[in-house]
Structure 1
Amino acid sequence: METPRMTTTPADQYRVQPRVWIGIVIYLAYVAVVFTVQQLTGIPYTDLGESGSNLFLGAGLSLIAGAILLAITTTLLGWWRPALFDRHRSGHKWPIIAPAIMGVALIVNLASVDWSSYDAAFLAASVVLLLVGFTEELATRGLLLVGLRNRLSEVWVWFLTSALFGIMHLVNALSGAPIGSTVQQVALAFGAGTIFYILRRVTGSLIWAMVLHGLWDFSTFALGRGTPGPFFALGGVIEIAAIVLALVSVAFVIRGADERIPALRVAAR
């Protein structure tokens, strides 16, 4: 009788087999950690822009804690490679136009910032905000995505990672942000999440999405400091155009995607 042998699959490379529930637990834990740290500082969301110390304690500290915990978790699971890289890039490259348009909006935002209103402390705290690109991307389109790919089709992977990325911003309302603007932020975050997903699929790497995400959040927050330039509203208009194009074109980067992560199995030789 032939003895069974383990087949070689992508899952063999992981310390822990990717599962949907693991991805969801990591996502919920990340949101809980960030929210808890922010609450412990006692600084309302609406007061973050008042000083460098408020910004660092109210937002930067939670991002640092989240980044450390996510890095440790990813290492323990052995999920760095699937979290950061797809096995195959999308066969359609043109949808990258949507992230490129968002890049134009980013430039408009940065050009409209009232940099004269920045002091050294506030600038230093603002730089820490760039960590949001690493933490939120790794939590959603990284580890959550890896877990979802164990059982779900790629269209659900896109939709759920983008939807949960938007929903995580609801906690801002619990931290003092107006509910109306928070709901708007959730909707825009779903669209931005779709843009970041497209960027991952076309480039084959989450790293570029991390960079664009971090710079985008930095630019939008910076616009709230001082008096922005006359064309600051243009960045928002361009962002909407990028989101519309992303929602139209995302089907093309999903089509033919072969990123499913199979379970470990034993096969007879």
Structure 2
Amino acid sequence: MTYKTEISPSLRVRPTLWLGVLIYLIYMAVFYVAFILVDVEYARVGENTDTLLNWLLPPTLAGCVVALSFVSLFGWWRPALSERKKLPRWAMFVPVLTAAVAFGNMLFGDYTTVTSQMWVYLIGGCLVVGFNEEMVNRGTLIVALRSRFGEHAVWLISTTMFAVFHLPNIYFGIGALAIAQVIIAFGMGSIFYLARRTTGSLIAAMLLHALWDLSAFASHVPYSGLLSPLLGIIAVTVTLIVLARERNQDALNRLKA
């Protein structure tokens, strides 16, 4: 099952696999070069006003320039942001459950050290991160992958690349924990994929991503982090089920045609 991107005047550049990979690699390079230049310690990003201002905002804003530039230059806004074919509504329970966990973490969190200025930086930074990472990994990359692969491969490759994106954090203060972060990120990427496919809009994935990061950075209570592996397992299982059913239904429709 392959979703061919419709070629329209708004698509200035025809989507190809290698263009999607190029955007991903350039975004990754710019983001982590910014990490190096500002000497980020990942585990301490949400510690205070200065760490947020100096460590969260520069890499995310630099990455935002890359994402905005490429999607505008190529004219991929429409296929990157919207779906022509949604997955069944029942699968939406996974993103909804994830949002509930994030809200729970926010509700019962410890914010005694979070100032009003920190809230501005946290909310703004997390919204930009949600836009950046979703636009690159489940926006332009999915558009590009669909020019070559069926949807199972599109999900698997885009989610794996999203997970691997976090591996360089091994050099930014968390060491071998970055490997666990990669594994967890694969599950979270599957949740964000389901958010896009069940709602028909990448914006849902962007907002959920931002909410999840905000709940992790702002609160010292680790409920969301502890539950993320379980949520990831549920998301991968549901994704495999709904994609298999979608492929079978498409095969039946072709036989009836």
Q: 1:138, 1:163 → 2: CA distance?
A: 15
Question: Distance in 2 between the 1:223 and 1:178 partners?
Answer: 22
Structure 1 segment 71-82 matched on structure 2, within 5 A = 71-82=68-79
Say if 2:53 and 2:121, in contact at 8 Å, map to a contact too.
Answer: yes
1:99 aligns with 2:95: yes
Structure 1 segments unaligned to the other structure (5+ residues): 1-8, 258-269
Q: Which runs of 5+ in 2 are unaligned?
A: 248-257
Q: Distance in 1 between matches of 2:34 and 2:112?
A: 30
* Deviation string, structure 1 residues 109-164 (Cα, Å, up to 9, x no partner): 10232122112332222123221110000010001111110011110100011111
- Give the counterpart of 1:113 among 99, 109, 114: 109
Q: Is the aligned partner of 1:202 residue 2:198?
A: yes
Partner of 1:249, secondary structure, is: helix
* 8 A Cα contact 1:162 1:193, kept in partner: yes
Match of 2:207 among 208, 211, 218: 211
Whether contact under 8 Å (1:144, 1:161) holds in the other structure is yes
Deviation at 1:81, TM superposition (A): 0.4
| 1:245 aligned partner | 234
The equivalent position to 1:145 in structure 2, one of 116, 120, 142, is 142
Aligned to 1:254: 243
Structure of larger gyration radius: 1
Distance 1:23 1:174, change over 3 A: same
CA contact (8 A) 1:19 1:150 kept: yes
Provide the rounded CA distance (Å) in 2 between the counterparts of 1:52 and 1:151: 45
Aligned to 1:261: none
Q: Secondary structure at the match of 1:23?
A: helix
**Does structure 2 retain, via aligned residues, the 8 Å contact 1:142–1:206?**
yes
2:36 paired with 1:39: yes
Percentage of identical aligned residues? 34
What's the CA shift for 1:45?
A: 2.1
Q: Give deviations 1:56-84, integer Å, cap 9, x for gaps.
A: 22121111111122112111100000000
8 A contact 2:155–2:193 mirrored in 1: yes
Counterpart in the other structure of 1:260: none
- 1:237: how far off? 4.7
Q: What pairs up with 1:230-241 in 2 under 5 angstroms?
A: 232-233=222-223, 235-241=224-230
Q: In structure 2, how many angstroms separate the alpha carbons of the residues matched to 1:199 and 1:43? A: 30
The CA deviation string for residues 21-63 of structure 1, in whole angstroms up to 9 with x for no partner, is 0000100111111101121112322332332122222121111
Q: TM-score, normalised by structure 1?
A: 0.84
Deviation of 1:172 after TM superposition, in Å, equals: 1.2
Structure 1's consecutive aligned runs of 4 or more residues displaced over 3 angstroms after TM superposition are: 235-241
What's the TM-score, normalizing by structure 2? 0.87
Query: Using the alignment, how far apart are the partners of 1:49 and 1:217 within structure 2?
Result: 11
One-letter identity of the residue aligned with 2:35: Q
Letter in 2 for 1:248: T
Give the length in aligned residue pairs: 240
The one of 111, 122, 127 aligned to 1:126? 122
The worse-fitting range, judged by mean Cα deviation, of 74-83 and 38-47 is 38-47
